[in-house]
Amino acid sequence: MSSFQHHGEHIAAAVGSAVHYSRNTFSVENALSLAKQLADANVAGQLSCYNEVVEPVVVTEEMIQAWVESPLTPASFQQCVGSIDYQCCEWRAWGESEACKIMHGLVPVNLNPSEATPTPGSWGITMGPDMFGALALTHALLSGLQCMGVSITGIFSG
């Protein structure tokens, strides 16, 4: 496994888009708290993976609000959340953390499947919608298993 530190804007995009898609069930104040938790979890993931201490990124209310007003597409939102989940999962306590539970609850936030066409080039999406959907589903399932403490290394062998 590997880990890298997300930019503050990446975390802001995830939580700001979550506020937008949650249809007022998730507030900017909650998003600001979650952003802090995610930045801290991302640092913990790096520490677990590389024994490297880095400072958490800063995410401001203004950054989040910009993404509330102009959110990621649903497909890009799912990819963004999945990437954060993957980077934090090196931290052993991630699966039991409040941030992990909130993130897993945000992915299906009332997304309209007809809106799930990815935007080419955004957050690294360069493949067609059918391939992206299959990869996103696989990633989400594997991330969920890891957060529940299930080892996925044997899945790909043999």
Location of structure tokens 């990869």: 135
pTM > 0.85: yes or no: no
Quote the CA–CA distance of 83 and 79 in Å, as a whole number.
6
In the chain, where are the structural domains located? 8-156
> What letter represents residue 138's amino acid?
T
Q: For residue range 122-148, list pLDDT tens digits in order.
A: 443 333 344 444 444 455 555 555 555
Query: Where does residue 6 fall: left (phi above 0), alpha (psi -120 to 50 degrees), or beta otherwise?
Result: beta
For residue 11, pLDDT over 90 is answered with yes
Question: What is the arithmetic mean of pLDDT over 53-69?
Answer: 92
Q: How confident is the model at residue 3 (pLDDT cuts 50, 70, 90)?
A: low
Location of structure tokens 């991630």: 94
pLDDT of 127: 35
